[in-house]
Amino acid sequence: MSTLLHLDASARRASLSRELSAAWARSWEGDYLYRDLAADPVPHIGEAWTELCDYVMAHEITDIARYGEAAVTPARKEAWAIVEPLLDEVVRADVVLIGTPMYNYSIPSALKAWLDQITFPRMSLAPRKFVVTSARGGAYGPGTPKEPFDHQERYLRDFFSGHFAVDDVTFVHAELANARIDPLLAHRLADHEASLRAAREQVNR
C-alpha cells in the first residue's frame, strides 16, 4: 500500500497552506504519516551532523540504509537519533506533501531545518513525488513584478532536483493572502479570492 508523508510548516494554526494540504491529503487512499514542523520543530543541524555528512561523503555511501554507519562517536549517535526517524518517514513515503507559507520571499526556518536534517550528499529520493501547497502574501506568479523575488518555489524545485534527484513536483499556490488584512492590498481581494478558489479546486481533485 502506498504511503503519504504530510508535513505542515506554517506558524499559523488556521493557515491557508494548512487548509490546502489537508484538503489534498483527504483524498489519499493508503498509509498516512503526519508531522507538524511548526508545533514540533526539528532541531537545526549541529557540528555532529556535519561529521555524519562528511563520513557519508568520504566513504561514498549512497545507500540511505547505510547512513547509520557514520554514527561512530557519542555526538554522532546523538545527531543520528534525530536524523534516523525523519529519514525513515521519507523512505517509507511514496508521496511527500508539504504545506508551507512563503515567509520573507522564501520558506519557514522550520521547513529548512527539516530539509537540512534529512539531506546527505548524492542521495536520491526518486521516484518519489513531492506536492507543495503554499500561501503567499503577495503575487509572485509568472509575469508579475515580484516574480524574481520568488525564492520559495524556485528554491524548493532546485532543492528537490539538485539534492533528491526528484523532478516530479507539483505546486499549488494561493496568492495575495495579505489582501485580507492589508489596506494597501484591499483592491486585490478579488484576485486573492480567485487564486484561492483555483487552489482549492486543484487540491480537491
C-alpha cell belonging to residue 61? 555511501
Q: What is the mean pLDDT of residues 158-183?
A: 97
Cα–Cα dist 142/126, whole Å: 27
16 is in an annotated binding site: yes
Residue 138 per-residue DSSP state: S
Q: What is the mean pLDDT of residues 21-40?
A: 97
4-20 confidence digits (pLDDT tens): 999 999 999 999 999 99
- What are phi and psi for residue 32, nearest 5 degrees? -135, 125
Residue 145 is predicted with a pLDDT of 94
Q: For the domain 3-45+93-203, what is the CATH code? A: 3.40.50.360
Cα–Cα dist 51/38, whole Å: 27
106 is in an annotated binding site: no
Any idea where the domains of the chain sit in the sequence?
3-45+93-203
195 is in an annotated binding site: no
Cα–Cα dist 101/132, whole Å: 10
In one-letter notation, the amino acid at residue 24 is W
- Would the pTM of this model clear 0.85, i.e. be above it? yes
31-62 confidence digits (pLDDT tens): 999 999 999 999 999 999 999 999 999 999 99
Peptide bond into 127 cis (omega under 30): yes
| Contact assessment for residue 139 and residue 99, using Cβ atoms and an 8 Å cutoff | no
